[in-house]
Amino acid sequence: MSRVPDTEHRIESLLWPFVDGLVDSWALPGVALCVVRHGDQVAARGFGTRDRATGEPVTADTLFHLASISKTFVATAALQMVQTGELALDADITAYLPDLPWGDPRAAQITLRHLLSHRSGLGDVTDYGWHEPELDDGALARFAARVAGWTLERDPGAGFAYSNAAYELLGHLVATTCGQSFEKALQERVLDPVGMRTSTFLRADVPPHLGAGPHLGLPPRVVDGSYPYTRRHAPSSSLHSSAAEMGRWMVAHLAGGAGLMSPQTHEVMWEPQIETGWGELQAQMAYGWFRGSYREHAAVSHSGSDPGFESNLVLLPDLGLGVTVLTNGNTAPITTLTRAALDTLLGLEPPPPPLPPVTVPLAPVLEGYDVHAASDLYRQLAAADPPTVDVEEGFADAVWGLIEVHRTDLAWPLLELWRLVQPRSAVSWFMTGWAHQIDGHRQTAVEHLRRSVELDPDDDEATTMLRRLSGDE
């Protein structure tokens, strides 16, 4: 049997049933996968539902919010402009954006190379403002002006520090140089040449019959008015695309940037710039893409996570293989799904399916806000031998998205349950402190964050939030 039908058979007989089983056992809203083999042969499929309230199915054409995978598109546009001479990798960005109110003299040392590889010295966004979306054409420029006024956290080029804010600045730079809105520039320079006709950075352009809804909370559901979209964060986060059209994206990059840039420029885009310390797939940072390895094969990748959506994109260029996984919830085992797809393409058996998180059986009980009944069920499940669920997992995934979109009213029952059953979880104290901070209870937030840091002194996120709320910075 030839390689192609054998791979097709493995996808049909191994991968799709594996995904279908996980969607069922983990009670996931929806998942879409696309795999590419031999560089140009694409298989894509949807599982589950776009919205649990309607039951409409996910298909290969369903459009998901991709979150940070958006950055690979922005990086591609920027490298295109380097190739045409519109931008230069080592030119100071302040020269391209002289009208921004630069607040730190060191900003004059920031180059395009630094922005692309997360070495700008800029900090990151602390509140994305999903609850107060800015939808006008000036939203990105206003945010870029705010970022320009920040004091840098380190000297440009001094080290790797992932920054969504740096990519908003990069997107503004692309738009300003092109003389267009960011979204139009990306559509014309990147999406259209690859044939991604329904993909868009503008949520308003997502057809209602194609859009996946973000599922939040426990049980996961689409919450009216809660969507991770605002045009001030378009470059870092707002691309909407489908499994089928992500197949076109992977094919173009596996072909050396075909239709987008020269092979020489494409090779530059994937050159490692700095170690990240993140390991395996994300061991090094290139220009908008992570470099690493998977089972000793060279890999380039990017993942994404925003309230109600998770995504992953991995290419093994030397083998002509690619995988994209898209979900409309925060509870999917995205790494497991990715590894299963890659292993199937490599001729290996998918990994054993993991036990579902304890939040799956707890969801129907907590739907009625009966925290004590849910607590009793948790203790029964924790005592089961052999275990049927992972009693340590699920709470953080179910709650953080609600807090980030400022829907703490829906988060409190889950936070109360979490504290009851895992009182020594540093993450539960951190999340509760974060929710109190959102609700304006500053002192209560500080108390919870202090307890979080006591339990886990190495949690930089909790430490930073505590320092900020305590007035120490």
Catalytic site positions? 68
Please choose, from the candidates 213, 229, 218, 237, the residue with its C-alpha nearest in 3D space to the C-alpha of residue 30: 213
Q: Which residues, at least 6 apart from 268, have a Cβ–Cβ distance to it below 8 Å? A: 79, 82, 287
The position carrying tokens 């007035």 is: 471
Which of the 8 DSSP states describes residue 180?
S
Residue 183 has φ and ψ, to the nearest 5°, of -65, -40
- Under 8 Å between Cβ of 320 and 38: yes
- Among 145, 119, 175, which residue's Cα sits nearest to residue 287? 119
Q: Which residues of 346-369 are buried (b: 16+ CB within 10 A; e: fewer)?
A: beeebeeeebbbbbbbbbebbeee
Pairwise CA distance, residues 284 & 276, whole Å: 5
DSSP state, residue 200: B
Pair 77, 185: CB distance under 8 Å: yes
Tell me the sheet residues that pair with 64: 241
- State how far the Cα of 320 lies from the Cα of 309, in Å rounded to an integer: 27
Using DSSP, state whether 300 is helix, strand or coil: strand
Helix H segments across 29-178? 70-84, 93-96, 112-116, 139-148, 164-178
